[in-house]
Structure 1
Amino acid sequence: MQDHSLSVEERRLLHALQIQPRAPWSAIAAALGSDAVTVARRWTRLQERGVAWIAVYRAAPSVTTALVEVQCPPSETMRIVEELTRDPEVLTIDVTTGGRDLLLTLVCDSRDALARYVLERMGTLPEIRALRTHIATATLADARKWRLRELDSTETAALEPSAPPARLPSVPPEVAARIRDVLARDPRITITGLAAELGTTPPRASAMLASVLASGEVVLRTEIARPLSGWPVYAWYFLDVDPLQRTAAVQRLTRLGESRLVASIVGGYDIALAVWLRSIDDVARIETFFAEHVPGVSVADRSVVLRTPYHLQKRIDAQGRYRPTHPEADAEADVTAPGP
């Protein structure tokens, strides 16, 4: 029988892992009032069910991020999705309603690389009827700060990661890419295991990991199947903002509990906002909230996401779950040798 809900204990564990995906099981257990073996086993079960996972991706200031709207025939939508998931530039693909059939999030090494990808790769796909590209000039807030709201302030404070050291080693791009590859296979790999993969000492591996995490060359994010999150509706809003009221508007949008992404964009709108909502009725209600409480903002367009078949470079099924072909190592292995 397919499960359609999460227990309180599972939700609390996921909230803890949202705060710090590599927190030692002993630290998580202490904050949750449990034991390390129990929380590790619980995490393993969540992964095996495809309910939760740790995504690994790149979000350094040096990269160019863009949203690309795609119009295509309905009969070709999923074929295009399948084609584009082969490309490393593609981070996420949403199948949407409204004026766009697909909304892609791209991460490229530069604006020139973005132009080549959109013009020379996507532009050659005959099934695509139209493209519209929006370059993100700044990510004002993203889902790394979104929480399930299951832990109290004391429990949250116990899990907040400590500040990175003031001086961190410079990590060459090829080594940063190697660390991303290793973590993509096993996000909670021990420092000893990471050091072996990199051919270095554990202290050096720990310092390099801290460096790439601080720079955004590696991002770790605990994800949950949206239908089980309590916020099953996913919507995009494209906003125009009065320049004189932009600062106040951005503050309100980034503090909005439903916000998963707030990005300044160039290409037709001022801000792209992605939200998770409790119900389909909230799609209209949140627009009322904008009108009444967010100064200088008007909704230029919006779309509801029908499905997200590809999210943070992982294939997601129709139920919003991620089931890797080759499951990661049993989380229990991390109990006696936790990450930093």
Structure 2
Amino acid sequence: MQESAILSELDLAIINALQIRPRGEWSRIGAALGITGATAARHWERLTRERLAWIATMPGPRFADSGYAAHVFFSAPPGYHAELAEQLCEEPAAATVTRVTGEHDFRVDFFTSTHESLDQIVSERFSSLPGVARTETAYVTRVHRQSSMWRSGVLDQQQSRSVAAASAATRSRRTAFDAVDSALLDALGDDGRLSWAELAGLCAISPQTARRRVEQHLASGYLVLRCEFATSVGLPVREASLVLNIPARHLEDAGQYVAGLPNCRVSVQVLSVHNLVATFWVYDLNEIHAYERELEARAPGTVVISRSVTLRTYKRVGHILDREGRSIGRVPLPMWQRE
């Protein structure tokens, strides 16, 4: 791997700052890191140019109020994995596609605007593909933690607070959605740090309108911006997941406990044969066993339905990834598209 592709400590600090505040001003980020805003911007430009880091758009925790989110698990013989991964990546509703160990071979995060569209995609299109032996769908009913909330922890507390400091102005929440919103969110999907003027120019509206609408969607929880990076050249983390069946009386507390763990990427309640899915980024897979023991103590009767380690991520919130985890393309999510 070329030396230029390795993330430096400063690169990782900038990424951490953008995890906290994806559209944060370079002057504020630079001040928190002890560098100039121009230096921070220059490093970010290199990271994006080399496809090592990017700002992604994804449905927020309130998306499930009006749309449908689901984890779908696919099983297929190894000889069909490459073809299945390619076709899953081409599907706009399949936001994240991973190949995993365990009972199933693929886990896919789907987002659609209607139950019918999700059923058509899973039951009609993918279940009938050659080699697909089994599918299992779990509808997300409550989000305790989503991946946009994960932090690398490179910055210290003071630096994190400095980056996070924001205006006290109250922003209204936007619930309507039209063609202008669709254009704005699609443009942000290509570059989440486009200036308000650049967004306005792409969408033929004023910068004030661009800013107002995007900030209203962010405030509503419908939209989330998330800083992603190629973990293969950054932090040596491994992704592992637990699929759990928690006794109903403990479900809410267990979901909140998992969400509070610093290594937790995802903690969601689902409606299926299991009721909680948790994903972690850890440095040592033994950490997963410790989480299991704590869950068993906190929620007696908990059953682990499956444990899995991610072998490869082909797609993450619409971005196609190469083997090193670089973003090499994007398939826009369907909920941004309106007539």
Structure 2 counterpart of 1:90: 94
Report the secondary structure of 2:197's partner residue: helix
For the pair 1:297 / 2:302, whether they are aligned, the reply is: yes
Worse-matched range after superposition: 88-97 or 290-299: 290-299
Residues 247 and 299 of structure 2 are in contact (CA less than 8 Å); yes or no, is this contact kept in structure 1? no
For the pair 1:26 / 2:31, whether they are aligned, the reply is: no
**Partners of 2:107 and 2:175 in 1: how far apart?**
35
For the pair 1:131 / 2:135, whether they are aligned, the reply is: yes
Structure 1 counterpart of 2:112: 108
Over 3 Å counting, the alpha-carbon distance change for 1:139 and 1:247 in structure 2 is: closer
Structure 2 counterpart of 1:333: none
For the pair 1:69 / 2:70, whether they are aligned, the reply is: no
Worse-matched range after superposition: 262-271 or 50-59: 50-59
Residues 57 and 180 of structure 1 are in contact (CA less than 8 Å); yes or no, is this contact kept in structure 2? no
Residues 142 and 261 of structure 1 are in contact (CA less than 8 Å); yes or no, is this contact kept in structure 2? yes
Structure 2 counterpart of 1:335: none
Structure 2 counterpart of 1:205: 210
Residues 22 and 226 of structure 2 are in contact (CA less than 8 Å); yes or no, is this contact kept in structure 1? yes
Which residues in structure 2 correspond to 1:1-340 (within 5 Å)? Answer: 1-3=1-3, 6-59=7-60, 60=63, 61-160=65-164, 161-162=166-167, 165-168=170-173, 171-292=176-297, 297-324=302-329
1:277 Cα offset (Å): 1.1
CA offsets per residue over residues 211-260 of structure 1, 9 Å max, x none? Answer: 12223443210012223443521111111112222333222111011111
User: Structure 2: which 5+ runs fail to align?
Assistant: 331-339
Residues 171 and 212 of structure 1 are in contact (CA less than 8 Å); yes or no, is this contact kept in structure 2? no
Structure 1 counterpart of 2:336: none
1:165 Cα offset (Å): 3.0
User: Structure 1: which 5+ runs fail to align?
Assistant: 326-340
**Partners of 2:171 and 2:189 in 1: how far apart?**
27
Residues 239 and 272 of structure 1 are in contact (CA less than 8 Å); yes or no, is this contact kept in structure 2? yes
Report the secondary structure of 1:31's partner residue: helix
Residues 253 and 294 of structure 1 are in contact (CA less than 8 Å); yes or no, is this contact kept in structure 2? no
1:290 Cα offset (Å): 2.9
**Partners of 2:71 and 2:145 in 1: how far apart?**
15
Structure 2 counterpart of 1:328: none
Residues 55 and 312 of structure 1 are in contact (CA less than 8 Å); yes or no, is this contact kept in structure 2? yes
Worse-matched range after superposition: 142-151 or 163-172: 163-172
Task: Name the aligned partner's letter for residue 129 of structure 1.
Answer: A
Structure 1 vs Structure 2: percent identity of aligned residues?
28
Report the secondary structure of 1:124's partner residue: coil
1:194 Cα offset (Å): 1.4
Over 3 Å counting, the alpha-carbon distance change for 1:80 and 1:166 in structure 2 is: same
1:122 Cα offset (Å): 1.4
Residues 89 and 314 of structure 2 are in contact (CA less than 8 Å); yes or no, is this contact kept in structure 1? no
Task: Name the aligned partner's letter for residue 312 of structure 1.
Answer: V
For normalisation by structure 1, the TM-score amounts to 0.88
Over 3 Å counting, the alpha-carbon distance change for 1:30 and 1:218 in structure 2 is: same
Residues 249 and 297 of structure 1 are in contact (CA less than 8 Å); yes or no, is this contact kept in structure 2? no
Residues 23 and 192 of structure 2 are in contact (CA less than 8 Å); yes or no, is this contact kept in structure 1? yes
